[in-house]
Amino acid sequence: MADKSEKKSFWEKFRHKYRLSIYRDETFEEVLNLRLTRLNVMAIVSLGIFLFLLIVISIIAYTPVRELIPGYPNQETIRNIYLNNYRLDSLEIEIAKRDAYFENLRRIKYSRIKTLLSGKKKSSKVIDSLKVERHAHIL
């Protein structure tokens, strides 16, 4: 039974009416007179916070202010990302072409040596006089 009376008194506190009066200091003239409950005050404060958050989120989402947020890319950064992606794709294609070229050179080199070794005795003299030099610009 005590629990019900405590619950009622708790909810009754939210419904109990209060008067808010604002007076002018010099003349003591009443400027504003409101009758409020705690529930009304909580609803008004909640609505104010919701509207404030909605305005702040709108300002951030739809104005250049969003660029001030750390980690949010600006237009120049996005453009650089796309440009670097294009360059990276081009470099991958060029590296694949270069690797294919070196693989062809390697096949030509080793297939020629095999034919020289499997050929006549004169071909061994060609292998003895063959000089292989390494050039810095290839690698």
- Return the structure tokens found at 105: 């050179």
pTM over 0.85: no
- Write down the domain spans for the chain: 2-68, 75-128
Look at residue 125 in the predicted model and tell me its pLDDT.
Answer: 47
Look at residue 52 in the predicted model and tell me its pLDDT.
Answer: 98
Q: Which residue did the predictor score with more confidence, 28 or 125? A: 28
Q: How confident is the model at residue 76 (pLDDT cuts 50, 70, 90)?
A: confident
The string of DSSP letters for 22-74 reads EE-TTT--EEEEEEEEHHHHHHHHHHHHHHHHHHHHHHHHHSGGGGGSTT---
**Strand, coil or helix: 137:** coil
